[in-house]
Structure 1
Amino acid sequence: MRKSEKKKQVIKRDRYLKIRVTEEELEAFKRKFKNSGMRTFSGFVRAMIFEGYIVHFNEEELREIYHLVANISNNISQIILHVSRDDDSFDSDIAEIKEKMAQIWQPLNFFTCKVLQLRH
C-alpha cells in the first residue's frame, strides 16, 4: 500500500463505549480536553484510555516531603549564615551546598507542579 493510499484510508469506528460519570467528572473531562489541544473529544478520550495512565499519590506524604526539605534548607541557610560570619574560607563549600539544595528543590517543585496539574 502506497503512502498516499494510507492517508486516504479511513478507520471506521462503529462500536460504542458507554460510561456513566458525574457532572463534576464530565466537567473535568471537558477541561482536560480543552487544554489538550486535540480536535475531537472522542479522540481525546481514546488517547486517555490507550495512552493515559493512572497516578495515585498521597497529598499528605507530598506535603511532608516538601516540609522536610524546607526545614533542611532553612537549617543549611542558618549554618551558612553562622559559618560565613566568622570565616570566609568555606565559600566554595557554601556555593556547592547551595547548588545541591537547588538541585533538590528543582525536581521537587517540578513534581509538585505536575501533581497539581493531574488533579481534576
Structure 2
Amino acid sequence: MNEKENKNRRDLYLKIRVSREELDAIDRKFRNSGMKSRSEFVRAMIFEGYIVQFNDEKLSEILRLARNISGNINQIAVRANSGGRVYENDIAEIKEGVNKLWQPLRYFQSLLMTLQH
C-alpha cells in the first residue's frame, strides 16, 4: 500500500454516546446535507463545521422590532383597505423601525462573516 492510500485509510473507530433525540437530529441534518454517508457528514462537521453562539438578547431585540414593524404595517393596511388615509407619519414610523432593526442584523451579519474560510 502506498503512502497516500495509507494516509486516507479509515480503519479506526470513534465511539460516542448520544440520546435518541440527538441521534434523530444528527440523522435529520445528515439527510438534509446531501452527503452520501453519515461518516462523511460527521467528519465534515468536525473538520469544517462551526459552533456558533448567538446572543439571545440581540435575537429577542430583532424579533421585537420585526413584530413592531409588522404590527404597524398591518394597521396601515387595515386603514387603507377600509378607505382610510395613510399618513406620512405612519410611513416614517415604519422607516424608523426598519432602521432600528438593521443594527442588530448587521451585528449578526458581522459574526457570520467571520466564519468564512
Taking structure 2 as the reference length, the TM-score comes to: 0.53
The percentage of aligned residue pairs carrying the same residue is 60
For structure 2, the residue ranges without an aligned partner over 5 or more in a row are: 77-85, 109-117
Instruction: Give distance in 2, aligned partners of 1:38 and 1:53.
Output: 17
1:37 lines up with 2:42 in the alignment: no
Match for residue 82 of structure 1 among 77, 83, 87: 87
1:59-88 deviation per Cα after TM superposition (whole angstroms, max 9, x unaligned): 45413222124436766997xx3238xxxx
TM-score (norm 1): 0.52
What is the CA-CA distance between 1:15 and the residue it aligns to? 1.3
**Counterpart secondary structure, 2:23:** helix
Stretches of structure 1 that go unaligned for 5 or more consecutive residues are: 1-8, 85-93, 112-120
Distance in structure 1 (CA, Å) of the matches to 2:13 and 2:40? 13
Q: 2:83: which partner in 1?
A: none
Between the two proteins, the alignment pairs up a number of residues equal to 88
> Equivalent residues in 2 for 1:47-62 (5 A)?
47-59=44-56, 61-62=58-59
Superposition CA RMSD, Å: 4.0
